[in-house]
Amino acid sequence: MEYFDATYSAYSEKVGADRIVCKENEIFDYACELSNYYGTGGFIYLHRDPRDCAASWMNVPLGYDDPVSVARLWKREQNACTLLRQTFDLPVIPVQYGELISDPESEMTRVLKAIGEEVEPACFSTADPSDEVRADDEYRKNLDQPIMSSNSKKYREQFDEETVWRIESIVKEPMMRLGYKFETDADWDGPGPRSFSERVFSVLGRAWKYLAPELNSGTGEEEISEHADDTARVLASRMELREELYTKRRQEWYSRNKE
């Protein structure tokens, strides 16, 4: 926590900011530690329709290779956030993605007032085109684009009914808890979670697809093979470390619950 605080404090001082906001997607795994360390502040809980989440991830390079994997991730994340609210009673402000993009001014005003920040017109717009935004970055390419108010229910264009059925079956409980409407019976009792090795090979397969364009760029076969081997080793190492961290975090959660 000291390293986290020192890093953000130094940057805050550099840019003259009074507060810090961390957008890390898995911040909920450290929410209790953050709350204990700072003693103040809160958490903005932004959640999105799991079916749209799955559709969105399918278009991200090196993302998940199937909707079922995204559904399992979404379920874990929502359950973790529910635990923070109901078990640890931490200050959480829920925001539904669909409502945010359809009425950003109203939703942002609600959130800003809840955290004690002044409401300014700039809060309802996206980044200025003159800002340094990497247009070739798949994760940041829309930062200077207008808010896409119709960016919901896109999964209907991408998934067939069976895929939607599988997703809804996996995330049934958190979907009900968050008030999302079902389009199927959500009664699929499919296979359990994939093994670690299956997830590794899945990611490596997507990594190779990402590198495949080099085949047509004049790069030599040996160089391509070397890049692929390096990527495979890095991804395998990172996934193994991530699995160890997840196991450690789960054990910490269980320990805190028992106490």
Q: Could you read off the pLDDT of 83-139 as tens digits, one per residue? A: 877 777 778 889 999 999 999 899 999 999 988 888 888 887 776 655 555 555 656
Q: What 8-state DSSP symbol labels residue 88?
A: S
Which of these ranges, 83-92, 222-231, 236-245, has the smallest mean pLDDT? 222-231
pLDDT score for 165: 95
Rounded-to-integer distance, Cα 147 and Cα 104, Å: 8
pLDDT at 37 over 90: no
Give the pLDDT band of residue 52 (cuts 50, 70, 90).
very high
3-state secondary structure string across 29-47: HHHHHHHHHHCCCCEEEEE
pLDDT score for 71: 93
**Two tokens, residue 120:** 């300014």
pLDDT score for 224: 45
Give the pLDDT band of residue 140 (cuts 50, 70, 90).
low
pLDDT at 222 over 80: no
pLDDT at 168 over 90: yes
Mean pLDDT, rounded, for 190-200: 59
pLDDT score for 249: 64
167 CB-contact burial (10 Å; exposed 0-12 / middle 13-18 / buried 19+): buried
